[in-house]
Amino acid sequence: MVVVRLGGCRYALPLPSVVEVGRPPALTRVPGLPGWVAGVTNWRGRVLAVVDLRPLLSAAPAALERTGRLVVLVLDGVRVGLLAEAVEGTVTLPTEIEPVLAHLPEQTAALLAGHLTDADGPVGVLDVAGVFGLASSLPRARRAG
């Protein structure tokens, strides 16, 4: 798992879903989309949608510092960028992760597969399918003519 920092908390992403990590690029906001959609960017010659999950994880988004990173995720050939305050490294996932905490808000719980605790403290395990599933909540494009 790749451990990232979002809203001051630690979250893990499955290593096979992480395509690459880089410095956050300049973003172009897209009007009419929710605040967790940070915008789009030209990444390696392709348009890449970029999300900032901090508002959905009950954390206030703030400007990224020098340690900020863009984590490019892939699921079924589709790519999306995830803004992170930092990438801390990797951890080995235990054979069993603990279930999502019952007291979490529904929008937060929908993004998590569970949690674990390592030597540095708690780590939420992000559900990559849940992150990509956010696309279903976006407004549909209006067609001209």
- What is the per-residue pLDDT for 69? 96
- What is the per-residue pLDDT for 108? 78
For residue 74, tell me if it sits in a domain.
yes
Q: How far apart are CA 14 and CA 1, in angstroms?
A: 5
Give residue 143's pLDDT band: very low, low, confident or very high (50, 70, 90).
very low
pLDDT tens by residue, 26-72: 999 999 899 899 999 999 999 999 999 999 888 877 788 889 999 99
Q: How far apart are CA 128 and CA 121, in angstroms?
A: 22
Strand partners, 86: 5
Q: In this model, does residue 123 exceed pLDDT 60? A: yes
State the total domains in the chain.
Answer: 1
Q: How far apart are CA 53 and CA 35, in angstroms?
A: 9
For residue 144, tell me if it sits in a domain.
no
Q: In this model, does residue 141 exceed pLDDT 70? A: no
More confident call, 108 vs 82: 82
pTM of structure: 0.88
- What is the per-residue pLDDT for 117? 81
For residue 143, tell me if it sits in a domain.
no
For residue 142, tell me if it sits in a domain.
no
Full residue range of the structural domain in which residue 92 is found: 2-137
For residue 41, tell me if it sits in a domain.
yes
- What is the per-residue pLDDT for 142? 53
Distance of CA 88 to the CA centre of its chain: 14
- What is the per-residue pLDDT for 104? 74
For residue 23, tell me if it sits in a domain.
yes
pLDDT tens by residue, 76-104: 999 999 999 999 998 887 767 887 776 67
What CATH number is associated with residue 105? 2.40.50.180
